[in-house]
């Protein structure tokens, strides 16, 4: 059932076997699996079916030092469906090495291995409508060449790993009917959890205090509670529930909110190929079910160990800068439309200012478009159709091969650091009186060295294999020399604030995602990841949520 919780009278007590706090991919996949047990479930999603100004405000917080992380209300969507309402849909599993204790990556090592997650990853891929869980180009596309670029792969860099793309599936829309028709689940739209009320001994959650608006609280008394609010809010809810346990729930070892990780990502350099028209699998490929897949460059585990760096991947990307050096008409056309429309939306004054400030770049884009003439419109309409009018969306528009300008995007693991953390900002509360967050993300030398090593190995391999050349602009060189100067954006990959560990002194949850010192409280989401891999987090978030649902079904 899906209900409007604004109809619930203040002071009401609701009982259930399981209370799920959150309404994103983690919460919904957990609910879908758990309700198969027939047991009663209440899900409070922290919002309704639309994003609202008050919902955005609940996510606001502080970033220290200012500007070192994107504003906290950006990239996180407080509503039913959570961030799957806007996600891109890239599905990538972690690699076996991500679970290992690596001597050169401090804080690495999971208490579980990838083999324990295989079936759940397959199920997560299915729920995300991303096809079968085969992430190897050699078996998914056996009739094509195995390498992305013929002659490129060696012991250190390989190109068979695949990413798969979800539709992208908005979990709140896709699974609404299933939850609506299930008699044993109550989705309480518009309800927020505002407090975890512990029993006097501090070892059990007695109830979750919830509300749709300030002062109209009601309670959910459940045998077990799972918090699935995203990595930043999971830590916030635990830290802010401190009436019984003064340092917060699960925080007896001062670990909640610590080891906050994300990914280092960006574009650095571009490749120019000897023959981009031949032996080069650049575009998205479709598997037998029509799922978009793409190959990527991966630094092998041997190379990671040899160079003592984090896990990292790369792939050819579209141009991100406003520059027109790529000489591609379609890219220039998109840049022009985006810049001018973006400016127009902000009013004529702002538009005029943008044109004035960027006149040289805009003129060079316009010249490139004019030179290509009408040819560009056919090209644009084909990709626009695939991107905007198909149920399964083309993941991104790539510049055509003939431009022979292939920017290299990298995405790297962020090594866990105790001092990279989120804590409560004692000077500011939200509408419900909950302290807001103060986020202090930190990186270490290995994070910067990983990117530098990858770029340098990539350049070396591309050139020694005779496949092409790799070019770094002065801005790229500067970025590699002084990476700490560059502003950081988490891209919504918020990871590690309630890390999983075998023992309570090393983390917040155990291998079943149960908060160590609390009998009936569990955590779902990327906050439990001890390390971040290079992989976008959602597939793993869902896999772990499904595993947790199976555990809870067995336990109850």
Ligand X SMILES: Cc1cc2nc3c(=O)[nH]c(=O)nc-3n(C[C@H](O)[C@H](O)[C@H](O)COP(=O)(O)OP(=O)(O)OC[C@H]3O[C@@H](n4cnc5c(N)ncnc54)[C@H](O)[C@@H]3O)c2cc1C
Interface residue list for ligand X (CB under 6 A): 21-27, 44-47, 75-76, 78-79, 82-84, 86-90, 192-193, 228-230, 233, 237, 492, 525, 536-538, 541
CB of residue 491 vs ligand X: minimum separation in angstroms?
Answer: 6
* Residue 432: DSSP 8-state: T
Nearer to ligand X, 237 or 368 (CB): 237
Q: Is 120 exposed, middle or buried (0-12, 13-18, 19+ CB in 10 A)?
A: buried
CB of residue 178 vs ligand X: minimum separation in angstroms?
Answer: 17
Nearer to ligand X, 156 or 163 (CB): 163
Nearer to ligand X, 127 or 362 (CB): 127
330: its two tokens: 């379609």
Phi-psi bin for 484: left (phi > 0), alpha (psi -120 to 50), beta? alpha
Nearer to ligand X, 50 or 556 (CB): 50
C-alpha 363 chain-centroid distance: 36
CA dist., res. 274 & res. 464, Å (int): 12
CB of residue 432 vs ligand X: minimum separation in angstroms?
Answer: 8
CB of residue 226 vs ligand X: minimum separation in angstroms?
Answer: 11
Which of 106, 55, 111, 51 shows the shortest CA–CA distance to 81? 51
CB of residue 37 vs ligand X: minimum separation in angstroms?
Answer: 21
C-alpha 199 chain-centroid distance: 34
CB of residue 256 vs ligand X: minimum separation in angstroms?
Answer: 15
Nearer to ligand X, 420 or 538 (CB): 538
Q: Is 320 exposed, middle or buried (0-12, 13-18, 19+ CB in 10 A)?
A: exposed
Which of 487, 302, 310, 529 shows the shortest CA–CA distance to 414? 310
The residue whose two tokens read 């529930």 is: 241
Nearer to ligand X, 176 or 401 (CB): 176
Nearer to ligand X, 276 or 530 (CB): 530
Which of helix, strand or coil describes residue 143?
A: coil
CB of residue 46 vs ligand X: minimum separation in angstroms?
Answer: 2
User: What one-character-per-residue DSSP string does 483-513 give?
Assistant: GGGS----TT--B-TT-B-SSTTT-SB-TTS
Nearer to ligand X, 172 or 324 (CB): 172
CB 522 within 8 A of CB 509: yes
DSSP β-ladder status, 468-471 and 521-523: unpaired
CB of residue 278 vs ligand X: minimum separation in angstroms?
Answer: 30
């Amino acid at each position: 059932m899906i209900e409007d919780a604004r109809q619930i009278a203040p002071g009401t007590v609701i009982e259930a076997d399981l209370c799920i706090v959150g309404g994103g991919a983690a919460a919904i996949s957990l609910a879908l699996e758990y309700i198969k047990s027939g047991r009663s479930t209440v899900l409070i999603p922290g919002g309704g079916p639309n994003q609202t100004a008050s919902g955005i405000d609940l996510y606001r917080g502080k970033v220290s030092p200012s500007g070192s992380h994107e504003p906290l209300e950006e990239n996180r969507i407080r509503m039913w469906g959570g961030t799957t309402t806007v996600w891109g849909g890239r599905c990538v599993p972690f690699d076996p090495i991500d679970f290992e204790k690596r001597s050169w990556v401090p804080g690495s090592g999971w208490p579980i291995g990838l083999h324990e997650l295989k079936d759940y990853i397959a199920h997560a891929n299915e729920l995300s409508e991303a096809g079968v869980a085969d992430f190897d180009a050699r078996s998914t596309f056996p009739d094509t060449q195995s390498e992305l670029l013929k002659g490129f792969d060696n012991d250190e860099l390989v190109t068979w790993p695949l990413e798969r793309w979800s539709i992208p599936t908005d979990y709140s829309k896709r699974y609404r009917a299933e939850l609506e028709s299930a008699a044993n689940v109550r989705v309480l739209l518009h309800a927020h959890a505002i407090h975890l009320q512990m029993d006097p001994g501090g070892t059990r959650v007695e109830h979750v205090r919830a509300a749709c608006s300030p002062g109209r609280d009601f309670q959910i008394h459940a045998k077990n509670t799972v918090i699935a609010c995203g990595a930043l809010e999971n830590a916030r809810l635990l830290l802010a529930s401190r009436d019984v346990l003064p340092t917060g729930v699960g925080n007896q070892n001062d670990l909640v909110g610590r080891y906050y990780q994300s990914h280092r990502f960006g574009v650095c350099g571009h490749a120019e190929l000897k023959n981009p028209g031949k032996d080069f699998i650049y575009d998205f490929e479709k598997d037998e079910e029509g799922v978009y897949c793409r190959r990527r460059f991966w630094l092998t585990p041997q190379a990671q160990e040899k160079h003592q760096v984090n896990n990292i991947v790369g792939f050819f990307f579209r141009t991100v800068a406003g520059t027109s050096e790529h000489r591609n008409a379609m890219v220039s056309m998109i840049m022009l439309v985006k810049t001018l429309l973006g400016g127009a939306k902000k009013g004529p004054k702002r538009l005029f200012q943008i044109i004035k400030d960027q006149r040289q770049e805009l003129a060079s884009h316009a010249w490139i478009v004019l030179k290509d003439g009408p040819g560009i419109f056919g090209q644009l309409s084909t990709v626009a159709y695939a991107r905007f009018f198909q149920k399964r969306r083309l993941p991104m528009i790539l510049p055509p091969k003939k431009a022979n300008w292939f920017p290299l995007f990298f995405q790297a693991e962020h090594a866990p650091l105790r001092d990279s953390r989120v804590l409560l900002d004692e000077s500011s509360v939200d509408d419900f009186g909950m302290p807001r967050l103060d986020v202090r993300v930190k990186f270490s030398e290995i994070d910067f060295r990983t990117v530098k090593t990858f770029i340098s190995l990539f350049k070396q391999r591309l050139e020694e294999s005779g496949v092409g050349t790799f070019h770094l602009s002065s801005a790229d060189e500067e970025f590699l020399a002084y990476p700490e100067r560059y502003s950081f954006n988490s891209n919504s990959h918020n990871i590690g604030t309630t890390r999983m560990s075998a023992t309570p002194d090393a983390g917040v949850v155990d291998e079943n995602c149960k908060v160590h010192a609390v009998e009936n409280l569990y955590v779902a989401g990327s906050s439990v990841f001890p390390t971040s891999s290079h992989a976008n987090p959602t597939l793993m978030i869902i896999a772990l949520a499904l595993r947790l649902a199976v555990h809870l079904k067995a336990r109850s």
